[in-house]
Amino acid sequence: MDFTFSDEQTMFAQAAATLFGETCTPDHWRRMMQTDTAFDAARWAQIAENGFTTLLLPESAGGLGLTELDFALIAQAAGYVALPEPLVESAGIAAPMLAALAPGHPLLADPAVIIAIAPACNPVVAHADVAHALLLERDGHAFLATPDQVTLTPVATIDPLRRLFRVDWDPDHAVDLGLADWAQALDRAALFAAAQGIGLAQRAVDLAVAYAKDRTQFGKPIGSYQAVKHHLASAQVAIEFARPVVIAAAAQIGQRDIFAQARVSHAKIVALEAADNAARASIQVHGAMGYSWEVDVHLFLKRALALTNSWGTPAFHRARVGARLFTRLAGPDQTFAQDPLFENEA
C-alpha cells in the first residue's frame, strides 16, 4: 500500500500547522487560563474560514468531501499545539454524523457552528459549554438538542484547556434523528485521538530538545550527555514507529471490518503511549521545573492522559486488537488484510 501523501494533502496540512502555530502559542494558553476560558472565538473563526471545519462534510452539504486520512493530518497539527477548540470533536466526528442523518440540516450551512457529541461510551462530553447543538446517543439513536434543552454539570478534568461536562437530558425535548452509526463515530474519534497523540508526542520531544540545547551543566549543554540523548532518542523512536500505524489506520478506516477496527485501536494505543512517554521524558529533561506551571510540557502530558481514556479505554482497544488476532489469520501477508465481503464489494 502506498502511504505517500499527495501535494494537496501536504499543502493542506502545512496550512493548518501554520495557522495553529501562529494563533495557539504558550502565551495564548496562559492568557486563556488566566481568564478561565478554553475557547478562543477569533481563532475558531479563522479555523472555519480556512475550511477545516467542513473538511469531512460531503460536497452536497457544502463541505470539501475529503477523507479521514486528510483530517488525520489536521488532527496531528492540532495535537502539536494542544489546540483548545473542539475541531476534532465537532468537525471530525459530530458534523459528519449529522450530515449522514440529516443532509440538509441548517446547522451544516454555517462552518463556524460547533456540535458536541455524547456517545454512550463517554460518560462526559467535551466542550459542551461552547456548542450550538449536541448529538446524544440513546438506544442507538442520535438525538439532536440545543443547549437550552439540556443541563450541563462541569466535571473535574486534568486538562485545563479541555472542559468536560455531564449532560442531563430528556429525549422528549430533543429531535430523534434515527438510528446512527455510532461504531463509525467511535472509529473516527479513536483515529483522530491517535493523530493528535502523534502531534503531542512530537511537540514534547521538540520542547525537550530545545531546552537541552540551551540548558548548561558543568559548562556543557545537557543535551550533550548520553542519558539525555537516550531518553529523547527512545521517545522519538516510539513516535516514528507509531506514525505509520496511524497513517495505515486512517487509510483503511473505510473498510469498516474487524481488520480496520483493529488498526484504529492499535493506532490509538501506540500513539497515545508514545505521547505519554515523550511528555514524561521531556519533563525529566526539564528537571524539577518540568512539573511546574512555568514549563509548557505538562500541558501536553495532560492532554495525552485525557485522550487516552476517551472514546474507548486502552483495555477496550486492546480487546479489539485481540479479537482480530485470535479470530483471523495473522502474519506478514495479513498486514493489510480485509474481510472477503469487503474485497468482493471492492
Residue-wise pLDDT tens for the chain (346 aa)? 666 888 889 999 999 999 999 999 999 999 999 999 999 999 999 999 999 999 999 998 889 999 999 999 999 999 999 999 999 999 999 999 999 999 999 999 999 999 999 999 899 999 999 999 999 999 999 999 999 999 999 999 999 999 999 999 999 999 999 999 999 999 999 999 999 999 999 999 999 999 888 877 777 877 777 888 898 999 999 999 999 999 999 999 999 999 999 999 999 999 999 999 999 999 999 987 877 888 899 999 999 999 999 999 999 999 999 999 999 998 888 888 888 755 444 3
pLDDT number for residue 150: 97
CATH superfamily of 7-180: Acyl-CoA dehydrogenase/oxidase, N-terminal domain (1.10.540.10)
pTM equals 0.94
State the pLDDT at residue 341: 57
CB 149 within 8 A of CB 169: yes
Name residues whose C-beta falls within 8 Å of residue 308's C-beta, 6 or more positions apart in sequence. Answer: 272, 276, 314
What integer pLDDT is reported at residue 4 of this predicted model? 80
Read off φ and ψ for residue 137, nearest 5 degrees: -100, 135
**Fold for the domain defined by 183-345:** Butyryl-CoA Dehydrogenase, subunit A; domain 3 (1.20.140)
CA distances from 60 to 55, 65, 150, 179, 180 (A): 12, 9, 30, 21, 20
Q: What pLDDT was estimated at residue 335?
A: 80
How much is the pLDDT for 343?
47
The vertex-243 CA angle with 238 and 249, nearest 5°, equals: 130
Domains in the chain: boundaries? 7-180, 183-345
